[in-house]
Amino acid sequence: MTQATTPPFQPQAFAAAEGLARQRAWVDVDPGAITANARSLRRCLEPTTNLMAVVKADGYGHGAVPIAKAAQAGGASCFGVATLAEGLELRQAGIQAPILVLGNLTTAEELRSCLAWELMPTISGMREALLCQNLASGSGRPFALQLKLDTGMARLGADWQDGPRLVAAIRELDAVHLAGVYSHLACADAPPHADDGLTAQQQDRFDRVLQALEQQKLAPGCRHLANSAGALRSPQLHYDMVRVGLALYGHCPAAHLQGVTPLQSAMRLLARVSLIRDVPAGVGVSYGHSFRTKRPSRLAVLGIGYADGVPRQLSNQMEVLFNGQRLPQVGAITMDQLVLDATDCSSLELGSVVTLLGPNGDDEITPGHWSERCQTIPWEILCGFKHRLPRLHADDESPGAH
Ligand SMILES: Cc1ncc(COP(=O)(O)O)c(C=O)c1O
């Protein structure tokens, strides 16, 4: 007997269908900004250099499929994902461009799916290359894959010194097509004088492998090394392709790289005021009373908290934007709520929409502002927004949207 399966509950689809998407708190994503950023990044590249849009982790929290399509419209020619499932999501959405899985796939099952869905795995040695050879032999379809070399990150990849030997061995495999050789930079976002020459050393190691391959007349396929920081840092790091994540989403990986090419933030985190309260001076606010009102105050509650991805470390350290004003957040950020001091903002009322992150008028709060205050990095802030928050894209027409 076949078992009836219940489709998984999809909170975002439910909220949109019920006209609730913009009721509590949500993420507005502007695909036009992604397209503009891709174009802007493309202008830094030679026409023959490819732009890979890195859309892993659900497009850094923006929504992988709409981001991939927007990036493609701006000149991205291929995509980078971390997992097999992320690659499948793009393929099932009808995206046909090359997709490189940047994470390590180790089992025959995962690699078989890659072959079936034309996803390129990254391999760090012969074990996976031979698995790919076995899977593809007799299938009549060459298995395209890329070899990763560790030039100084000590994460994925084979030792760079083994590069020429591995390329030679992979090219002996008749069912495998070596589509690229790449490496990853560990310190490209540090100012050149502050990275202890590590980026130059990684580049030198990569170049030495490529020179050896040339001498041995072994074609490496697509050669690539740079992430956003590398792409913005120097054209010398571009090779045949750059793999860009953070900059595509409109954020610069380091202050000294700001302005290399114009970028605009594609995400706004918004929430509606769910309650306004007038309280006297001396009132302790939220768990632990880490804030106490110093004057009669007007407090505004937002129905968003750390369970949505607003870091609790930002308690008493963040502001929100409303009509050209900055309003301080006060007291501990809780799981589902946070409180604003709206004493100096009489126009804020029940139902008003405030901006927690992103541009508002001439002002902007960036993931970098948040990450500095809670000692992390903008990447983690962007990827930290939970699925409880609807992601709405400018071209979504959901009831209740406005
Ligand atoms: C292998 C690889 N390439 C490129 C990127 C993109 O990095 P960024 O977001 O700094 O551009 C990442 C992200 O972590 C990565 O793991």
Among 34, 50, 52, 54, which is best to mutate for testing ligand 1, by the most ligand atoms less than 8 A from CB? 54
Instruction: Judge whether 56 counts as a catalytic residue.
Output: yes
Query: Of 56, 60, 239, 306, which is the active-site residue?
Result: 56
Tokens representing residue 87 in the block: 């690659």
pLDDT in tens, 209-256: 999 999 999 999 999 999 999 999 999 999 999 999 999 999 999 999
Round to whole Å and give the CA distance between 149 and 392. 38
What per-residue confidence (pLDDT) applies to 396?
59
Q: Which residues pair with 26 in a beta bridge?
A: 270
Instruction: Judge whether 287 counts as a catalytic residue.
Output: yes
Burial pattern 151-163, b for ≥16 Cβ within 10 A else e, equals bbbeebbbebebb
pLDDT in tens, 146-177: 999 999 999 999 999 999 999 999 999 999 99
Query: Of 60, 69, 287, 294, which is the active-site residue?
Result: 287
Residues in the chain: 402
Closest ligand 1 atom, residue 247 Cα: 11
pLDDT in tens, 104-137: 999 999 999 999 999 999 999 999 999 999 999 9
Round to whole Å and give the CA distance between 277 and 274. 10
3-class SS of residue 276 = strand
What per-residue confidence (pLDDT) applies to 22?
87
Lowest mean pLDDT among 4-13, 139-148, 262-271, 360-369: 4-13
Which residue's alpha carbon is at the smallest distance from atom 8 of ligand 1? Answer: 245
Q: Is the CB of 244 under 6 A from ligand 1?
A: yes
| 31-249 CATH fold | TIM Barrel (3.20.20)
Query: What distance in angstroms lies between residue 108's CA and the mean position of ligand 1's atoms?
Result: 26
Torsion angle, CA of 317/320/324/325, rounded to 10 degrees?
A: -50
Round to whole Å and give the CA distance between 143 and 111. 10
Q: Is the CB of 184 under 6 A from ligand 1?
A: yes
Phi and psi at residue 369, to the nearest 5°? -60, -45
Q: Is the CB of 243 under 6 A from ligand 1?
A: yes
Across all residues in the chain, what is the average pLDDT? Answer: 94
Phi and psi at residue 123, to the nearest 5°? -120, 150
Helix (H) or strand (E) holding 52: strand 50-54
Neighbours of 80 (CB within 10 A): 26
Kindly state the average pLDDT of the residues 387-393. Answer: 93
Confidence of residue 400 (pLDDT cuts 50, 70, 90): very low
Kindly state the average pLDDT of the residues 91-105. Answer: 98
Closest ligand 1 atom, residue 231 Cα: 11
The sign of the CA dihedral 314, 316, 321, 324 is: negative
Q: Measure CA 64 to chain center.
A: 9
What per-residue confidence (pLDDT) applies to 371?
98
Alpha-helix residue ranges (DSSP H) falling in 141-196: 163-171
Cβ atoms of 297 and 281 within 8 Å: the answer is: yes
Query: What distance in angstroms lies between residue 81's CA and the mean position of ligand 1's atoms?
Result: 10
Confidence of residue 398 (pLDDT cuts 50, 70, 90): very low
Query: What distance in angstroms lies between residue 244's CA and the mean position of ligand 1's atoms?
Result: 6
Kindly state the average pLDDT of the residues 16-26. Answer: 80
What per-residue confidence (pLDDT) applies to 394?
80
pTM, two decimal places: 0.94
What per-residue confidence (pLDDT) applies to 138?
85
Which residue's alpha carbon is at the smallest distance from atom 13 of ligand 1? Answer: 245
Cβ atoms of 290 and 332 within 8 Å: the answer is: yes
Kindly state the average pLDDT of the residues 354-374. Answer: 97
Does position 3 have pLDDT exceeding 70, yes or no?
A: no
The CATH number of 267-393 is 2.40.37.10
Cβ atoms of 27 and 309 within 8 Å: the answer is: no
For the chain, the domains span 31-249, 267-393
